Structures are given as C-alpha cells and as structure tokens.
C-alpha cells in the first residue's frame, strides 16, 4: 500500500476490521437501519451541512482556539505544546459538537423525545442544552454514583428542563446508565431519539459521532498550518468511550508522520484491577451494540470500571479505537488517578486553565512525554473539557491528602 487508508471505515455493516457492528435486540434493528439511512442522506444534504455550520459557529462558539501553551512548554522543556480549547465551547466540553449534529438529525426524523446516558454529566448537560434549544422533551439516565459526585451537572440539566433519572443498577455509573437508556429506547422506540454521547454503540453511532466530532481535528489542522505552516508531530487525547480523541485523531489518521497517542484511565493502576483501561487491561467482546475491547472476567461478565474521572469510567471503548489499537496506528497508553490529579494542579497553576479531570489524563501524558522531545516537536493536546464540574472530587482528594500528611 502506498497511501495509508485509515479513514475509510467502517464498512456497510459498521465494521472497523472485526470491531463495531450492530449487536442489538430486534426491536431496535429497524430503527437503527432507519437512522443509518437518515444519517447518510443528511450527510450529503448541503442544507443540513449549512444548518450544522451555523449552530457550530453562533451557538457553540466554534472554531475553538488552538492555543500555544507557553508556560506549559517552558515547564516541560521539550516539545512545543498547543492546547485545542474545546473547554471553551458552550457547555464547557467537546460533547456539544456531537449533540448539535444529532439533534438536527432527530428533528429531521421528526422525533419529539430525546434520551441520553451520561457519566460525568457533560454529555447530559450538552444534550439537555440542545433539547431546550429545540423545544424537545429530554430524559437523561445517570448512574446514582455519578449523580453523587457530579451534583452541579445534575442541577444544570434540571435547570435546562431535562428529567434526570438515577440508575442504581450495578455500580451506578456510565455502563448502567447506558443499559437503562437502551431499555427506554426499546420501550419508546417510535417516538424517541437516543442521543449517544460517544463513539460507541451500534452502527451508525460510532461513525456518526466521530464525524460530528471531527471538526476538532479539521480545525486543528488549519490552525496549526496557519501558526506553524505544517502538520503536528504528535496528538494526545484522553479516552473513555473515545469521542474527543476520535474527533481530534480522525482527520490525521492518514498522515503517517503524525504520532497519535490515546490516554486511558488507569485508575488505581492497571495491575490493581481498579481501572478503566479497556485496551490496556481488557479483551475483545460484545456490549452495548458493538464488538470492542471490554473489561470482563473469564466468564464474559462485564467488570465495573474505576476512574477518578466519571467521564472515563466505562468498561468499553469505541470500536474504531479498538481497531486502531489492533493495527497499531494509534498508541494507547494510560495514566493513574494520581498522575491525572497532579497534572490537573499543574495546568491550573501554569496556564490559568482548570481542566476537566478527563482532560487532565491527556495532560499527564504530556508531562511524561514532552520533556523527552526536541523543541521543534509540535504536540497538540485536546483540552476536551473544563474542570468546574470536578471541584467536589478534587476537594475531596485534597482533604484525603491532608489527612495523610498529618
């Protein structure tokens, strides 16, 4: 092969290599096939593109800046570090990029009711936001553990008019919320649009969410071209389901000079078993509509993920990431809760930016990697969300740290 072909997936069955597919109950199949057709039509409709571009610009606030992080760069003493400022988007994270796209599709399909799952609450807030904007009924499923640690976001969703339904099954985190959202969808399939927040689930969701998030990478490409006159040397992003990472990575996949690094959440450490690193600590299986890498025991039962960051607390990963891992195009590494917290504090003090704990995982990788690289190495990090939602969690950990030193 002379020209790399990493951007062509998935095939018509929604497969990226052996990953992806449509593993769902029959009740949902006709609707999922319908969604595939509608999305294909919308993708080729200039009116849809124009409407999407309008809302991206005037409602979300795109393009988001590509910011040269001078102090971070000086501190690391190596690679030249740029931050893609997705945390400056309306609602404070990259999630809104996908929500705007899907809500326009839902409207096109005549759906009156929107449901979504949420972990940290950022996708829930973004969904509640666009549902409010278009006057649609909105129901958000959220694990009870996550509700506890993300109360501010729960309140935001309610302010925006969404109903937030706590899910107590399992460990009350993102996986359980997704099960419950799927149950709702199966029950209300004709009236309801399921607005999935990440590049996972049955086809066409992984490809569709990627396409809506790819604006991140497309802008980055143009912005870095303007600033430096060339492509980046490396890209770094955190991965739960993997939508912010896929959005940044996808437009660069065929540029083989660009090193691409995805950062999973290692929680307490991969060897402790308390982590959320599906690629580094899991194996292939089938859950939530797709074949991908999963945290599972020897009997194929799903193991609960652990991460300090609710947004990464998921035992699976988008199937395109599983494929990119399998073929070796993207390198997937992991950082622990502790490393992410340290990076969180460094980013606050060095750049005056409070990052989401999710994004702090990507920053932790930057702190490891950048110092070893030359000054002309251009590194772009996706600052996927802001950290306001994480104040409670960070305060709790500061208290714990204080107690340990006394």
Partner 1 sequence: MSRLHTRFNELKAHNRAALVTFVTSGDPDYDTSLAILKGLPDAGADVIELGMPFTDPMADGPAIQLANIRALAAKQTLAKTLQMVRDFRVGNATTPLVLMGYYNPIHSYGVERFIAEASEAGVDGLIVVDLPPEHNGELCDPAQAAGLDFIRLTTPTTDDNRLPTVLTGSSGFVYYVSVAGVTGAGAATAEHVSDALARLRRHTDLPISVGFGIRTPEQAAAIARLAEGVVVGSALVDQIAKANHPGEAVEGVLGLCRQLAEGVRKARVSAG
Q: Among all residues, which ones are annotated catalytic?
A: 95, 117, 384
Question: Two tokens at 129?
Answer: 């936001």
Query: What's the rounded Cα separation, in Å, for the pair 160 and 52?
Result: 21
88 versus 186: smaller Cβ distance to partner 1 = 186
Residue selected from 1, 110, 298, 374 as contacting partner 1 according to rule CB under 8 A: 298
Query: By CB under 8 A, what part of segment 89-148 binds partner 1?
Result: none
Rounded to whole angstroms, what are the CA distances from 374 to 21, 79, 81, 82, 233?
A: 42, 6, 11, 15, 11
Q: Which of 191, 392 has the CB closer to partner 1?
A: 191
Structure tokens at 147: 């509700």
CA distances from 345 to 336, 342, 354 (A): 15, 5, 8
Give me 55's structure tokens.
């809302």
Q: How many residues bind partner 1 (CB under 8 A)?
A: 38
How far is 348 from 344, CA to CA, in rounded Å?
6
Q: Does 299 bind partner 1 (CB under 8 A)?
A: yes
Closest to partner 1 by CB, 233 vs 304, is 304
Nearest to 195 by CA among 313, 273, 111, 89: 111
Pick between residue 21 and residue 311 the one whose CB is nearest to partner 1: 21
Secondary structure (3-state) at 175: helix
Rounded least distance, CB 131 to partner 1, Å = 22
Q: Which part of the chain contacts partner 1 (CB under 8 A), choosing from 25-33, 60-68, 205-213, 356-364?
A: 25-33
String marking each residue 180-199 x if it binds partner 1 according to CB under 8 A: --xx--xxxxx---------
Find the binder of partner 1 among 2, 3, 8, 26 (CB under 8 A).
26
Q: Are 258 and 224 in contact (CB under 8 A)?
A: no
Return the number of the residue (202 or 311) whose C-beta is nearest partner 1. Answer: 202
Please say which residue, 171 or 331, places its beta carbon nearer to partner 1.
171
**Does residue 289 touch partner 1 according to CB under 8 A?**
yes
Antiparallel, parallel or unpaired: β 163-167 and 137-143: parallel
Residue from 10, 247, 262, 285 in contact with partner 1 (CB under 8 A) = 285
Distance between CA atoms of residues 118 and 98, nearest Å: 14
Shortest Cβ 244–partner 1 spacing (Å): 25
- 285 within 8 A of 319, measured Cβ to Cβ: no
Beta bridge partners of 333: 263
Tell me: does residue 286 bind partner 1 (CB under 8 A).
yes
Stretch touching partner 1 by CB under 8 A, among 21-29, 69-77, 86-94, 353-361: 21-29
Q: Does 31 bind partner 1 (CB under 8 A)?
A: yes
For the beta carbon of residue 75, count every other beta carbon within 10 angstroms.
Answer: 17
Binding-site string for partner 1 from residue 143 to residue 172, where x marks contact by CB under 8 A and - marks none: --------------------------xx--
The span of 37-45, 54-62, 177-185, 355-363 binding partner 1 (CB under 8 A) equals 177-185
State the residue for tokens 């092969």: 1
Q: Does 296 participate in binding partner 1 (rule CB under 8 A)?
A: yes
Residues 258, 7 contacting (CB under 8 angstroms) = no
Among 21, 206, 242, 247, binds partner 1 (CB under 8 A): 21
What is the DSSP code (8-state) at residue 384?
-
The DSSP H or E segment spanning 363 is helix 357-369
348 to each of 95, 343, 344, 360, how far by Cα in Å? 22, 9, 6, 10
Closest CB 6 distance from partner 1, rounded Å: 25
Residue 333 interacts with partner 1 (CB under 8 A): yes or no: no
Residues near partner 1, by CB under 8 A: 13, 21-31, 33, 169-170, 175, 179, 182-183, 186-190, 284-289, 291, 294, 296, 298-302
């Amino acid at each position: 092969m002379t020209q790399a072909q990493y951007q062509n997936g998935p095939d018509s069955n929604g497969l990226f290599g052996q990953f992806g597919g449509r593993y769902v109950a029959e009740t949902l199949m006709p609707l999922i096939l319908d969604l595939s057709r509608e999305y294909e039509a919308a993708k080729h409709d200039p009116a849809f593109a124009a409407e999407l571009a309008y809302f991206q610009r005037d409602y979300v606030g795109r393009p988001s800046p590509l910011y040269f992080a001078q102090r971070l760069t000086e501190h690391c003493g190596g690679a030249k570090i740029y931050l893609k400022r997705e945390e400056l988007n309306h609602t404070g994270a990259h999630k809104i990029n996908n929500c705007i796209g899907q809500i326009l599709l839902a409207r096109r399909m005549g759906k009156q009711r929107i449901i979504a799952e949420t972990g940290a609450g950022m996708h829930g807030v973004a969904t509640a936001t666009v549902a409010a904007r278009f006057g649609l009924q909105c129901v958000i499923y959220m694990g009870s553990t996550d509700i506890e640690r993300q109360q501010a976001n729960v309140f935001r969703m309610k302010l925006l008019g969404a109903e937030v339904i706590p899910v107590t099954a399992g460990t009350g985190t993102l996986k359980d919320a997704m099960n419950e959202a799927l149950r709702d969808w199966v029950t209300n399939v004709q009236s309801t649009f399921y607005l999935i927040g990440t590049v996972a689930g049955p086809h066409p969701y992984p490809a569709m969410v990627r396409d809506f998030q790819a604006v991140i990478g497309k802008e980055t490409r143009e912005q870095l071209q303007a600033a430096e006159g060339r492509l980046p040397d490396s890209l770094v992003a955190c991965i739960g389901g993997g939508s912010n990472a896929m959005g940044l990575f996808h437009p660069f996949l065929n540029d083989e000079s660009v090193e691409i690094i995805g950062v999973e959440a290692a929680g307490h450490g991969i060897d402790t078993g308390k982590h959320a690193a599906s690629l580094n600590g899991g194996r292939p299986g089938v859950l939530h509509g797709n074949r991908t890498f999963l945290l599972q025991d020897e009997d194929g039962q799903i193991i609960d993920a652990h991460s300090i960051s609710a947004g990464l607390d998921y035992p699976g990963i988008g199937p395109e990431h599983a494929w990119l891992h399998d073929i070796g195009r993207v390198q997937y590494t992991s950082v622990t809760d502790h490393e992410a917290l340290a990076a969180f504090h460094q980013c606050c003090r060095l750049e005056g930016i409070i990052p989401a704990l999710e994004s702090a995982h990507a920053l932790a990788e930057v702190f490891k990697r950048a110092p070893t690289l030359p000054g002309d190495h251009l590194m772009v990090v996706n600052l996927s969300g802001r950290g306001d939602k994480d104040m409670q969690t960070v305060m709790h950990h500061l208290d714990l740290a204080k107690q340990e030193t006394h």
